[in-house]
Amino acid sequence: MGVQGPALPASGAVEVTADPVAVAARIAAVRAAGWTVARLAGDRARTVTGVLDQSAHAWSFPEYFGRNRDALDECMRELPDTAGPARGYLTVVDHGDLLLADVPGERGWLAESWAFYAAHYRREDRGFAVLLAVGDAAPAPVAAAWRAAGAPARLLG
């Protein structure tokens, strides 16, 4: 099946939904396909520092994580060593509408980083995707904001 199948996101996908059933179905599908899932709290990742801290917490980065962008890139490429080998890696961002909300100009940096991780894992025949679970927020404007920042965001469910 490779890293993508009918119930799996394309590697590099950024999906946005307000539907908790779609979130649960996506998580179940990727886990069944051998992906590892981590959940990040978007309401605690409203700034770059918050993204760094929440990523470290969600993915259980090693103690030597330097809490900077380069260290994030390094640790995200080492997920097979730290999170365990998997067919792919899905980051679910709860309250995804709040991700980098205090510094929306930084979305381009994160969108570029996500594309970098996806390209890295594609070379290893693994997937990488992001699911922004926006709760009560309207998903279309969130997806549009991330598309404007360069992420291939699309609505799910």
The tens digit of pLDDT for each residue in 68-87 reads 999 999 999 999 999 999 99
Domain boundaries, the chain: 14-155
Q: Is the pLDDT of residue 66 over 50?
A: yes
**At what angle are helices 139-148 and 107-123 packed, to 10 degrees?**
80
Q: What are phi and psi of 24, to 5 degrees?
A: -60, -40
What's the pLDDT at 101? 98
Q: Where are the alpha helices (DSSP H) in 1-127?
A: 20-32, 48-58, 69-77, 79-82, 107-123
The encoded tokens of residue 75 equal 């640790």
Statement: 14-155 belongs to CATH 3.40.50.300: no
Q: How many CB atoms lie within 10 A of CB 91?
A: 24
Judged against a pLDDT cut of 50, whether residue 5 lies above it is answered with: no
Q: Is the pLDDT of residue 4 over 90?
A: no
The pLDDT score that the predictor gives to residue 157 is 80
Strand order in the sheet with 153-155: 35-41, 88-94, 127-133, 14-17, 153-155
Q: Helices 69-77 and 107-123, interaxial angle, to 10°?
A: 30
Q: For residues 131 and 15, what is the distance between their CA atoms, to the nearest angstrom?
A: 5
CA 6, distance to chain mean position in Å, is 19
pLDDT of the residue at 28: 95
Give pTM, 2 decimals. 0.95
Backbone φ, ψ for residue 6 (5° rounding) = -60, -35
Per-residue pLDDT of 98-146, as tens digits, reads 999 999 999 999 999 999 999 999 999 999 999 999 999 999 999 999 9
Q: CA-to-CA distance for 101 and 114, rounded, in angstroms?
A: 17
Q: How many other C-beta atoms lie within 10 A of the C-beta of residue 110?
A: 23
Instruction: Check whether 2 has a pLDDT greater than 50.
Output: no
Does 3 score more than 70 pLDDT? no
Q: Which three-class secondary structure state does DSSP give residue 89?
A: strand
